[in-house]
Amino acid sequence: PIRLHRSSLSGHCHRVQLFLSLLGLPVELVEVDMRGGENRRPAFLALNPFGQVPIIEDGGTVLFDSNAILVYLAKRYGDPSWLPEDPQGAAAVQRWLSLAAGPIAYGPAAARLVTVFGAPLDHASAVRIAQRLFDVIDPELAARQFAAGDRPTIADVAAYAYIAHAPEGGVSLEPYPHVRAWLAR
């Protein structure tokens, strides 16, 4: 099985675990005690020098960064539709992976870090970033079923967790009917 080092509260880990489940791959979950500092110990830092989760071990391959892991899993185990080969499809997926690493991380994910974990971040700024993001993607999602087209891709997997949990960060999804419909799919 693929070994997934994770924290059960992390949306980045959730996206990897979700995709492993969607692919039907056997997985061994390794819970990392982040509060206890396990991620700062030498054995962990040997897997990821940044001291972050998720990390996967797949045979001799060790990878960190949730988006990189999604790309790897899609290419190694997935149906080609998870990561399209055509230039437009690939670019559409990459755009959403960039959104996941940018406005999604600094918007709804950061807002949730403040309200759920007490992180010393600017909550008002995170909420503004989230609202601007949703103002942009809501009309886009009116025109298509999924983030990057008419089929689910790793773009949907990358974006899902933190957008779904935006209300935990004090970001209402009520004004965004197409975002809510996308989450329901």
Per-position DSSP letters for 109-177, written without gaps between them: IHHHHHHHH--SS-HHHHHHHHHHHHHHHHHHHHS-SBTTBSS--HHHHHHHHHHHTGGGGT---TT-H
Task: Check whether residue 94 and residue 72 sit in a common domain.
Answer: no
Say how many domains are in the chain.
Answer: 2
pLDDT band at 46; cut points 50, 70, 90: very high
pTM of the model: 0.92
Task: Check whether residue 91 and residue 169 sit in a common domain.
Answer: yes
Rounded-to-integer distance, Cα 146 and Cα 40, Å: 38
CB of 21 closer than 8 Å to CB of 1: no
Average pLDDT for 92-114: 96
- The domain containing residue 132 runs over which residues? 81-184
Task: Check whether residue 136 and residue 163 sit in a common domain.
Answer: yes
How does pLDDT run across 157-168, given as a tens digit for each residue?
999 999 999 999
Phi, psi of 97, deg, nearest 5: -65, -40
The per-residue pLDDT for 175 is: 98
Task: Check whether residue 45 and residue 115 sit in a common domain.
Answer: no
Task: Check whether residue 74 and residue 87 sit in a common domain.
Answer: no
Average pLDDT for 3-31: 96
Task: Check whether residue 12 and residue 56 sit in a common domain.
Answer: yes
Return the CATH number at 58.
3.40.30.10
**Averaged pLDDT score across all residues of the chain:** 96
Residue 102 has pLDDT above 90, yes or no: yes
Percent pLDDT > 90 in the chain is 95
